């Protein structure tokens, strides 16, 4: 086989579509011919690039869709539990402050009770009754 014939058959050689005789002849030629080796390397790089792109393209879109769906599902749950936790903390702190103040200063107790009423009406207005 001549160099030109081998160059033409390199793609088939790379894909393993040639018989054993041609395969041996071409692999012997490639190992001693820089031009054919470069062409074969190009074929390898091209094939690897195509495989990488195919492998990366499909899961990338899928991943984004799955992530978007997961976030859509998680967001309202997080918001509700955060609001509930904050409301609980405010109420407990206000009650503790009110109880402590009730014993010490009756005037301050009235002020704190007003704060509690304000806090609970704010919570009611933020959609807590939904
Ligand atoms: Zn060659």
Domain contains 52: yes
The rounded Å distance from CA 2 to ligand 1 centre is 8
Domain membership of residue 95 (yes or no) is: yes
Q: Which domain holds residue 37?
A: 33-125
Q: How far is CA 6 from the centre of its chain?
A: 46
On whether residue 79 sits in a domain, the answer given is yes
Question: Rounded to whole angstroms, how far apart are CA atoms 40 and 38?
Answer: 5
pLDDT higher than 60, residue 127: no
Mean pLDDT across the stretch 38-43?
Answer: 93
Note the helical H segments in 15-125.
Answer: 20-32, 34-104, 106-125
CA of 128 to the centre of ligand 1 (A): 78
d(CA 7, CA 40): 9
pTM: 0.41
Residue 1 lies in a domain: no
Angle 20-32/3-14 helices, nearest 10 degrees? 110
pLDDT in tens, 72-90: 766 655 577 777 888 888 8
Of the two residues 45 and 100, the one the predictor is more confident about is 45
Does residue 13 carry a pLDDT above 90?
Answer: yes
The pLDDT, as a whole number, for residue 113 is 83
Residue 18 has pLDDT above 80, yes or no: yes
């Amino acid at each position: 086989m001549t160099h030109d014939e081998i160059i033409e058959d390199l793609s088939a050689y790379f894909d393993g579509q040639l018989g054993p005789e041609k395969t041996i002849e071409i692999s012997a030629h490639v190992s001693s011919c820089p031009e054919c080796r470069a062409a074969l390397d190009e074929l390898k790089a091209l094939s690897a690039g195509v495989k990488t792109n195919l492998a990366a393209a499909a899961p990338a879109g899928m991943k984004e869709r799955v992530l978007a769906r997961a976030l859509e599902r998680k967001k309202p749950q997080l918001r509700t539990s955060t609001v509930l936790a904050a409301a609980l903390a405010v109420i407990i702190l206000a009650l503790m402050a009110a109880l402590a103040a009730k014993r010490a200063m009756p005037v301050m107790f009235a002020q704190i009770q007003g704060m509690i009423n304000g806090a609970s009406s704010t919570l009611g207005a933020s959609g807590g009754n939904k």
